[in-house]
């Protein structure tokens, strides 16, 4: 794609880590069949880069849209939820949006469809009042930079990506479903008896900062639920599914899981699990907010998975030791023999064991850092 002619939101102002620490916010009241809305809103509320932006109220302070604005409504909702810990509120700021669209109040709707609508509506709000933009420039909004990426298939131009949709019919593991959908397909050539690339399924051409995955649990024609446990982990490396598979790992950390219980897409109940800024997990079931542990989260019959880029996991820290050592933001490369280690900055400096930075060699330091990071996360 051509470079954007205009940058609508500076990428350096997108903060991936929580800028403030909050306790779990308010639960959301459900007057009837709005569990799909409540669960999606809670997952979005605990999306760190989006929450940081909305909590700053930067959008409403500069919004020139007359009348109704989805981003302004989301900003009001997130601020109200996170500042109302221990209570339950009615999500009136967002419910009024439904009356303007094809969602019908009082009717059970699909959570994934509502998520896609909400993200798309926020994107449109960011583009409101701006004309004559090229496609590349449209992808520089705060919303697209957080949730958006690009997919690519052989012989085609990159296509926008807002969520990965994976079939779970024949897969027991999340990585297996991801592999079937987003990797190269191989076939055997009988003349030389070798496996070669025959075609290419979609691959991730540009990775998003926040990765949303839908495990397709509803049959296309009947809407019947596919009750299958698909195992997923709290950490994901997206590199094997990229168009360019060589390079450093692209680690993501799980921060929310949305669950559907019931027999079909037009019935049942939605609830979710989210990781708050204090690092603790909570089950959010409409007005109820209860703490839980990660083992409970990983045992759910997930419908939607939310992952955020983890720039700290698996990095190498080469320290000099001593009181004079200071970590600075940025990244650099250090060649050691024939190997090149990527070195990034760790924000958990005070929590790291001194042995990590006082290691006698980069190789030893890497091993110690990996172990220390697992203990921290």
Q: What is the mean pLDDT of the chain?
A: 78
Cα dihedral value 377, 294, 275, 288, nearest 10: -160
Sign of CA dihedral 100, 101, 104, 109: negative
Residue 201 vs residue 319, higher pLDDT: 201
Q: Is 171 noted as a catalytic residue in this protein?
A: no
Residue 167 has φ and ψ, to the nearest 5°, of -75, 135
Rounded Cα–Cα distance for residues 232 and 93 (Å): 33
Is residue 3 a part of any domain in this protein? no
pLDDT digits (tens, 9 = 90+) for 92-123: 888 877 656 667 777 888 899 999 999 999 99
pLDDT-derived band at 338, boundaries 50, 70, 90: very low
> Per the structure block, which two tokens stand in for 80?
């109200």
Active-site residue identified among 35, 214, 265, 272: 35
* Sign of the dihedral through C-alpha 71, 74, 76, 78: negative
Strand partners, 95: none
Average of per-residue pLDDT across 60-71? 86
Q: Are 137 and 275 found together in one domain?
A: yes
Q: What do you get for the CA distance between the two ends of the chain, in Å?
A: 36
Same domain, 88 and 129: yes
Same domain, 305 and 335: no
The pLDDT assigned to 170 comes to 57
Question: Within this chain, do residues 79 and 17 fall inside the same structural domain, yes or no?
Answer: yes
How many CB atoms within 10 Å of residue 137? 18
User: Largest alpha-carbon pair distance within the chain?
Assistant: 69
Q: Is residue 219 part of a domain?
A: yes
For residue 150, the enclosing domain spans 11-309
Residues 288 and 352 in one domain: no
Q: Is the same domain home to 230 and 340?
A: no
Distance CA 142, CA 210 (A): 12
In a domain, 186, yes or no: yes
126 is a catalytic site residue: no
* Cα–Cα distance measured from residue 294 to residue 280, given in angstroms and rounded to the nearest whole number: 9
Q: Structural domain tally of the chain?
A: 2
Task: Tell me if 322 is assigned to some domain.
Answer: no
Average pLDDT of the residues in 243-257: 91
Q: Which of 63, 72, 235, 269 is catalytic?
A: 269
Q: Under a CB-based contact definition with an 8 Å cutoff, are residues 301 and 310 in contact?
A: no
pLDDT per position as a tens digit, 204-242: 888 999 999 998 887 766 667 778 788 899 999 999 888
Is 75 contained in some domain? yes
- CA triplet 89, 91, 96: central angle to 5 degrees? 150
pLDDT at 27: 98
Question: Does residue 134 sit in the same domain as residue 180?
Answer: yes
Could you tell me if 347 and 283 lie in one domain?
Answer: no
């Amino acid at each position: 794609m051509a470079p954007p002619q205009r940058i609508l939101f500076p990428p350096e102002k997108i903060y991936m880590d929580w800028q403030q620490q909050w306790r779990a916010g308010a639960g959301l009241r459900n007057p009837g069949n709005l569990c799909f809305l409540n669960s999606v809103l809670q997952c979005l509320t605990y999306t760190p880069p989006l929450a940081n932006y909305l909590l700053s109220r930067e959008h409403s302070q500069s919004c020139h849209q007359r009348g109704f604005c989805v981003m302004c409504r989301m900003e009001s909702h997130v601020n109200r939820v996170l500042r109302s810990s221990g209570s339950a509120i009615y999500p009136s700021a967002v419910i009024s949006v439904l009356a303007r669209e094809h969602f019908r109040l009082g009717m059970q709707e699909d959570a994934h469809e509502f998520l896609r609508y909400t993200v798309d509506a926020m994107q449109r709000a960011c583009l409101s009042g701006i004309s004559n933009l090229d496609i590349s420039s449209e992808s520089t909004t705060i919303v697209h930079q957080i949730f958006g990426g690009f997919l690519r298939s052989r012989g085609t131009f990159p296509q926008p990506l807002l969520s990965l949709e994976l079939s779970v019919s024949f897969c027991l593991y999340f990585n297996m479903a991801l592999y079937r959908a987003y990797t190269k397909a191989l076939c055997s050539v009988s003349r030389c008896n070798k496996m070669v690339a025959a075609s290419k399924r979609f691959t991730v051409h540009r990775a998003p900062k926040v990765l949303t995955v839908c495990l397709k649990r509803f049959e296309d024609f009947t809407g019947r639920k596919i009750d299958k446990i698909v195992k997923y982990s709290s950490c994901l490396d997206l590199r094997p599914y990229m168009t360019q598979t060589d390079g450093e790992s692209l680690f993501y950390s799980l921060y929310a899981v949305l669950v559907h219980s019931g027999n079909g897409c037009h019935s049942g109940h939605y609830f979710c699990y989210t990781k708050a800024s204090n690092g603790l997990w909570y089950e959010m079931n409409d007005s109820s907010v209860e703490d839980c542990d990660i083992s409970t989260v990983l045992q759910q019959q997930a419908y939607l998975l939310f992952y955020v880029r983890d720039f700290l996991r698996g990095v190498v820290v080469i320290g000099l030791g001593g009181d004079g050592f200071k970590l600075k933001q940025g990244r650099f490369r250090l060649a050691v023999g024939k190997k090149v280690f990527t070195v990034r900055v760790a924000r958990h400096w005070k929590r790291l064991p001194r042995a990590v930075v006082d290691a006698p060699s980069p190789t030893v330091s890497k091993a110690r850092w990996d172990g220390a990071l697992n203990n921290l996360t």
